[in-house]
Amino acid sequence: MVLKIGLLGLQGAIEEHEVAVMNAGRTLGLEVQVSRVTLPEQLEGLDGIILPGGESTAMIKQGTRSGLLPKLNSMLAQNFPAFGTCAGAILLSKKVRRTEDSPVTQGAFPFLDIEILRNGYGSQRDSFSTDLMIKGFEEPFEGVFIRAPIISEPGTSEVLASTRGYPVFVRSGKIMVTTFHPELTEDTRIHSLFLKSIIE
Ligand code: GLN
């Protein structure tokens, strides 16, 4: 069995995810094929998709123009597995705020019942890295946060890790998101978790 994983390739940190998911497949003894998705027809035949970090607004603009977003939206509505990191997490959130006082809007794919605050930890200067205790993992995981959003309300989703008082890794059904960047470390355990969730 070959697992076909798409990587939303509109913008942002794509290559590192490609390496991480291939390595995760190798560790699990699974054959994995990764392809970049920028056009709606490239979604055909995929088993799951990774939505990388970057700038969520830029991704929405480009994806809307190409017709990719509406197609992916209808797939996600039917339980298509997705893993979002950082900006990718914003895209999957039901409630998004730009600042604490700004009104709530919806992400591009509002299937995860969480509220997220963009750039919640501050600006680029407030980017940080910290050891995270993740549910089900025996060893800590290095969480790299880059202009990360804050999950201000986890809603009905399951919280797998928190730091500084906020959830940073949540999942619900076939969707999982981290506000940090696991692809920027050598540790492939989170990518493995995503692959396992697809074949379960
Ligand atoms: N600040 C970005 C946004 O709001 C997300 C940052 C990231 O993905 N590293 O879209």
pLDDT (tens digit per residue) in 49-94? 999 999 999 999 988 888 999 999 999 999 999 999 999 999 999 9
Task: Tell me the catalytic residues.
Answer: 86, 181, 183
> Which atom of ligand 1 approaches the CA of 54 most closely?
8
Residue 1: the pLDDT is 84
**Among 5, 29, 28, residue whose Cα is nearest residue 17:** 5
Residue 15: the pLDDT is 93
Residue 11 above 80 pLDDT? no
Give the pLDDT band of residue 123 (cuts 50, 70, 90).
Answer: confident
- Alpha-carbon distance of 60 to 4, in angstroms, equals 23
SS3 148: coil
CA of 29 to the centre of ligand 1 (A): 32
* CATH fold group of domain 2-199: Rossmann fold (3.40.50)
Give the pLDDT band of residue 109 (cuts 50, 70, 90).
Answer: very high
> Which atom of ligand 1 approaches the CA of 55 most closely?
10
Burial class of residue 181 in the structure, from the number of CB atoms within 10 Å of its CB (0-12 exposed, 13-18 middle, 19+ buried): buried
Q: Quote the pTM value.
A: 0.96
Mutate to test the pocket of ligand 1, among 93, 119, 124 (most ligand atoms within 8 A of CB): 119
Across the range 99-124, mean pLDDT stands at: 92
- Alpha-carbon distance of 144 to 186, in angstroms, equals 12
User: Over the chain, what is the mean pLDDT?
Assistant: 95
Q: Is the C-beta atom of 16 inside 6 A of ligand 1?
A: no
Residue 86: the pLDDT is 96
Virtual torsion, Cα 37, 39, 40, 44, nearest 10 deg? -50
- Alpha-carbon distance of 39 to 25, in angstroms, equals 25
Q: Write out pLDDT tens, residues 139-191.
A: 999 999 999 999 999 999 999 999 999 999 999 999 999 999 999 999 999 99
**Among 107, 12, 118, 14, residue whose Cα is nearest residue 64:** 107
**Among 73, 81, 47, 78, residue whose Cα is nearest residue 174:** 81
Q: Residue type for 44, please?
A: E
- Alpha-carbon distance of 173 to 119, in angstroms, equals 26
Q: Is the C-beta atom of 87 inside 6 A of ligand 1?
A: yes
Virtual torsion, Cα 52, 159, 188, 20, nearest 10 deg? -10
Domain locations in the chain? 2-199
